[in-house]
A and B are shown apart, each in its own frame.
Chain A
Amino acid sequence: GAVVSQHPSWVICKSGTSVKIECRSLDFQATTMFWYRQFPKQSLMLMATSNEGSKATYEQGVEKDKFLINHASLTLSTLTVTSAHPEDSSFYICSALPLGPIKNIQYFGAGTRLSVL
């Protein structure tokens, strides 16, 4: 149980294009999902907290117009990197917090590797 699916696992795009990453909780509902960014050999940095049916809360220094987050249902959140540039190349990971959490645990997706040419 508690599986989080993230798609795509790897995407290459040209500079200036937009890329959408999906995060789905497969066997549970999640009112809250999180989006992280991870650079090579570094830890996870929280970008934003996504709540179903409301606007995402962005961490300081994260451009909300650059990283659009939509959490339209209890099982799906999307991150769109708009007008991507090479400096946006990174590993993006989502996590989901089960509804009515018993253990208060975030379950993570497998991550999406974004390469912007």
Chain B
Amino acid sequence: QKEVEQDPGPLSVPEGAIVSLNCTYSNSAFQYFMWYRQYSRKGPELLMYTYSSGNKEDGRFTAQVDKSSKYISLFIRDSQPSDSATYLCAMRVNDYKLSFGAGTTVTVRA
């Protein structure tokens, strides 16, 4: 079993729809949770960063962490074609080594 599980998709939605992404994990020691966006042949770009359980909102993006269920989510409201990318969840304990999910490829259709 992988430490971080993420459905690779692909996920295709019409413009304006809500994109829902999620990851599950097995290591209960994870405390820091991140979502990165990666365009083709580019490095990951940090979108959201949360510590422990709870919700965090930043513009059209909402990140949720449920440590009791070992489940994290990212929601993108009013999706745009420019949101088409691969979204990677990542998490870590107190050191700085990140464990990544496989990434979900999202296409927003105009």
Name which of A61-69, A70-78, A81-89, A108-116 contacts chain B: A108-116
The digit string for B91-106, where 1 denotes a CB below 8 A from any CB of A, is: 0000011101111010
B100 touches A91 (CB 8 A): no
Chain B proximity of A109: nearest CB distance (Å): 5
What is the interface residue range for chain B against chain A? 20 to 34
Which residue of chain A lies nearest to B105 when distances are taken between CB atoms in the complex? A41
Which residue of chain A lies nearest to B92 when distances are taken between CB atoms in the complex? A104
- A60 interfacial contact with B, CB 8 Å: no
Main secondary structure of the interface of A (DSSP, over half): strand
Chain B proximity of A5: nearest CB distance (Å): 10
- B88 interfacial contact with A, CB 8 Å: yes
Which residue of chain B lies nearest to A6 when distances are taken between CB atoms in the complex? B43
Chain B proximity of A33: nearest CB distance (Å): 10
- A54 interfacial contact with B, CB 8 Å: no
CB-CB under 8 A for A105 and B46, given A43-B102, A97-B96: yes
Chain B proximity of A45: nearest CB distance (Å): 8
A93 touches B44 (CB 8 A): yes
B98 touches A46 (CB 8 A): yes
Chain B residues, CB < 8 A from A95: 43
